[in-house]
């Protein structure tokens, strides 16, 4: 049965209702405020902002890509459209020159001139289709770098294993040509960004499981040159050899993390804060979403953190948003952060299908 066009468009613009976001339980530093930007974004993961202010959001298991618009400027999305469906784990979204790039496990697709066609989105065009088909760590955060290349991770297809062609970060031209390796020894990065000023790449990496509640730590890493190896699967957290794959290896042969983020916290999306709304102490700090542990005796993560840097060292690491766990039960799972042009911060929560907006006022 074919739906009438008007009914089909209405269906696309109205995702299924999600859980109620837990605003009352959340705590932030003095002067910060949090509100719901939208609670109509099931399975919300990576975010990207278009040239016209559209907030694009990827998802994981629901296979959809969303476009959120705040037409009256009140800090809430008044329209949520589903602009693509039926994609495999389309976590990653990246906007460039009017086009939206989306990851879909084995391929990268693009929706051309998307902000001018939100009500009648174009069919996704395949840009690159030679990525591995494995779904274990096969969802991909993607982003364009200062070099105008699209960066794409290829996570390890396992908890811990040593397989050629995996556990690395690659990059390509916008048309899918010129694919090259950037860095190795990366188990599963679901968040990377470039530092204002020196334009170097910083990324989170999730540590392996089955080594206990407190080992190994997730990592915050910094790429200083092409071809660096960050240790996986031989060395974890910069100082601990793997019980199986570390035999005969030395952690000194690999790049150590800039900072240990905590075991099993599932650090995902991160961005440097380049806005002016927050206090000056937040300028150029890294804001990191911690999705939260799934296999720890006592839950860890489930919060949004701020890492302040002095040069290439983390000098403080403190919460921006806490309260997504109550009585050892998750009430929310932060997946990504994104700074808006006005300096406010969006936070995606895939458990509640919500996007939050964080503001500051004295």
* pLDDT tens per residue across span 171-229: 999 999 999 999 999 999 999 999 999 999 999 999 999 999 999 999 999 999 999 99
Residues 335-349: what's their mean pLDDT? 98
Helix (H, G, I), strand (E, B) or coil at 184: strand
Q: Does residue 350 contact residue 15 with C-beta atoms inside 8 Å?
A: no
Residues 243-267: what's their mean pLDDT? 98
Alpha-carbon gap, residue 203 to 103, rounded angstroms: 18
Tokens read off for 261 = 């983020």
pLDDT at 166 over 50: yes
**Confidence at residue 257, expressed as pLDDT on a 0 to 100 scale:** 98
pLDDT at 10 over 60: no
Give the strand pairing for 303-310 and 313-321: antiparallel
**Confidence at residue 17, expressed as pLDDT on a 0 to 100 scale:** 44
Span 292-311, pLDDT tens digits: 999 899 999 999 999 999 99
> How distant, in Å, are the alpha carbons of 54, 113, 119 from that of 223?
30, 32, 40
Average pLDDT over the chain reads 94
Tokens read off for 315 = 């000098």
Please name the residues in contact with 95: beta carbons below 8 A apart, sequence gap of 6 or more.
Answer: 48, 49, 50, 51, 56, 101
**Confidence at residue 362, expressed as pLDDT on a 0 to 100 scale:** 83
Residues 74-87: what's their mean pLDDT? 98
User: Of all helices (H) and strands (E), which one includes residue 5?
Assistant: helix 5-12
**Stronger pLDDT, 209 or 22, i.e. the higher one:** 209
Please name the residues in contact with 217: beta carbons below 8 A apart, sequence gap of 6 or more.
Answer: 207, 236, 237, 257, 260, 261, 262, 263
User: Of all helices (H) and strands (E), which one includes residue 357?
Assistant: strand 354-360
Residues 245-273: what's their mean pLDDT? 98
**Confidence at residue 21, expressed as pLDDT on a 0 to 100 scale:** 79
Residues 1-22: what's their mean pLDDT? 45
Sign of CA dihedral 112, 132, 184, 89: positive
**Stronger pLDDT, 4 or 350, i.e. the higher one:** 350
Give the strand pairing for 47-49 and 55-57: antiparallel
* This prediction's pTM: 0.94
* Helix/strand/coil percent split, the chain, to 5: 5, 40, 55
Alpha-carbon gap, residue 350 to 18, rounded angstroms: 10
**Confidence at residue 291, expressed as pLDDT on a 0 to 100 scale:** 98
Question: Per the CATH hierarchy, to which homologous superfamily does domain 5-360 belong?
Answer: TolB, C-terminal domain (2.120.10.30)
The CA-CA-CA angle for residues 248, 153, 148, to 5°, reads 130
Q: How confident is the model at residue 22 (pLDDT cuts 50, 70, 90)?
A: confident
Q: Which residue reads 């770098």 in tokens?
A: 145
- The domain spans of the chain are 5-360
Alpha-carbon gap, residue 236 to 239, rounded angstroms: 6
Q: Which residue reads 């949520």 in tokens?
A: 80
Give the strand pairing for 240-241 and 201-205: unpaired
**Stronger pLDDT, 11 or 355, i.e. the higher one:** 355
**Confidence at residue 3, expressed as pLDDT on a 0 to 100 scale:** 36
pLDDT at 76 over 60: yes
Evaluate the omega torsion of the peptide bond into residue 355 and state whether it is cis, within 30 degrees of 0.
no
**Confidence at residue 161, expressed as pLDDT on a 0 to 100 scale:** 98
Alpha-carbon gap, residue 36 to 344, rounded angstroms: 12
The CA-CA-CA angle for residues 33, 35, 38, to 5°, reads 155
**Confidence at residue 7, expressed as pLDDT on a 0 to 100 scale:** 34
């Amino acid at each position: 049965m074919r739906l009438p066009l008007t009914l089909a468009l209405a269906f696309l613009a109205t995702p299924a209702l999600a859980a109620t976001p837990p605003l009352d339980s959340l705590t932030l530093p003095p002067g910060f405020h949090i509100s719901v930007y939208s609670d109509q974004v099931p399975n919300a993961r990576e975010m990207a902002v278009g040239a016209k202010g559209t907030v694009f959001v990827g998802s994981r298991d629901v296979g959809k890509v969303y476009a959120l618009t705040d037409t009256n400027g009140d800090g809430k999305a008044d329209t949520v459209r589903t602009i693509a469906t039926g994609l495999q784990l389309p976590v990653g979204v990246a906007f460039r020159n009017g086009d939206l790039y989306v990851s879909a496990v084995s391929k990268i697709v693009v929706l051309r001139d998307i902000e001018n066609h939100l009500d009648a989105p174009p069919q996704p065009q395949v840009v690159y289709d030679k990525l591995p088909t494995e779904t274990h760590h096969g969802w991909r955060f993607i982003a364009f770098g200062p070099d105008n290349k699209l960066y794409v991770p290829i996570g390890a297809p396992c908890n811990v294993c040593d397989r050629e062609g995996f556990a690395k970060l690659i990059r390509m031209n916008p048309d899918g040509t010129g694919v090259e390796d950037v860095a190795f020894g990366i188990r599963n990065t679901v968040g990377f960004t470039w530092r204002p000023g020196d334009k170097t790449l910083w990324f989170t990496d999730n540590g392996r499981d089955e080594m206990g509640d407190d080992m190994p730590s997730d990592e915050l890493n910094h790429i200083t040159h092409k071809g660096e190896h960050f240790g996986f699967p031989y060395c974890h957290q910069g100082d601990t050899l793997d019980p199986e794959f570390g035999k005969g290896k030395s952690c000194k042969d690999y790049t150590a993390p800039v900072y240990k983020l905590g075991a099993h916290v599932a650090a995902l999306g991160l961005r440097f804060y380049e806005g002016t709304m927050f206090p000056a102490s937040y300028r150029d700090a890294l804001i990191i979403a911690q999705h939260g542990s799934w296999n720890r005796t006592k839950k860890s993560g489930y919060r949004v953190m701020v890492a302040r840097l002095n040069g290439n060292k983390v000098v403080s690491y403190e919460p921006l948003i806490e309260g997504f766990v109550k009585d050892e039960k998750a009430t929310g799972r932060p997946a990504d952060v994104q700074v808006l042009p006005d300096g406010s911060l969006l936070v995606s929560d895939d458990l509640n299908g919500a996007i939050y907006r964080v503001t500051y006022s004295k």
